[in-house]
Amino acid sequence: MIGEVAAVISALKALNDGINTIRESAGNAGDLQAIVGKFAGASEQYQSVEKAKAGRMSYKEALAMESAKRQLINFDRQLKDICLMQGQGDLYKSIKNRMEEARLAHEKEVARIKIRRREIAKWMGWVLTAVFTWITGMGILWLIVAIVQG
């Protein structure tokens, strides 16, 4: 689990380095695209670790995740500032809309998978019940036949 939290922190460090590079060099579209990709990746990593490990983190890991959350909020603010300084406020809105669409699609897919797994588990329960009933019935029938013949 510590490795997953460390991966989130590592992704945030790479994102921070990229933002600093854009600020120093006045950035171009390629740099901005790289930063957006790193931001989206870091956000996804954070969300996946948060969902998978919620309530099961050590104190140290919980503090690291809280720090990561605050850094993501700060990076979002910095990304917005960079886009506005480059006169691309609409780009920021577009990025946020696409990230939200991707998040919603991911949540919808996860929900669909969970429902499917529940259906399969329910079906397997019925199958196992039927098999058990059949085996028990055959055992009782065998006993009856053995008693009658014997």
Place of tokens 């931001």: 39
Mean local confidence (pLDDT), 28-57 = 75
In the numeric block, which tokens belong to residue 82? Answer: 């960079």
Structural domain that includes position 70: 2-87
pLDDT of residue 131 exceeding 60, the answer is yes
In a domain, 144, yes or no: no
* Distance of alpha carbon 87 from alpha carbon 106, whole angstroms: 31
The verdict on residue 130 lying in a domain is no
Mean pLDDT, residues 18-34: 64
* C-alpha to C-alpha distance for 80 and 75, rounded to whole angstroms: 8
Number of H helices, E strands in the chain: 4, 0
- Torsion angle in degrees (nearest 10) through CA of 38, 21, 5, 103: -30
Is residue 22 a part of any domain in this protein?
Answer: yes
Alpha-carbon gap, residue 135 to 137, rounded angstroms: 5
Residue 92 counted as domain residue: no
At 146 the pLDDT is 93
What predicted TM-score, i.e. pTM, was given to this entire model? 0.58
97: in domain: no
Residues in the chain: 150
Strand (E) positions, 41-145? none
- Specify if 126 maps to a domain: no
- Distance separating alpha carbons of residues 52 and 116, to the nearest angstrom: 19
Mean pLDDT of 133-137: 97
Residue 122 located in a structural domain: no
Angle of the 59-85 helix axis to the 89-149 helix axis, nearest 10: 140
Nearest partner of 76 among 15, 7, 23, judged by Cα: 15
pLDDT tens-digit map of 77-118: 888 888 888 788 888 898 889 888 988 887 888 788 889 989
CA 82 to chain centre: 27
How many domains does the chain contain in total? 1
Q: Is residue 118 part of a domain?
A: no
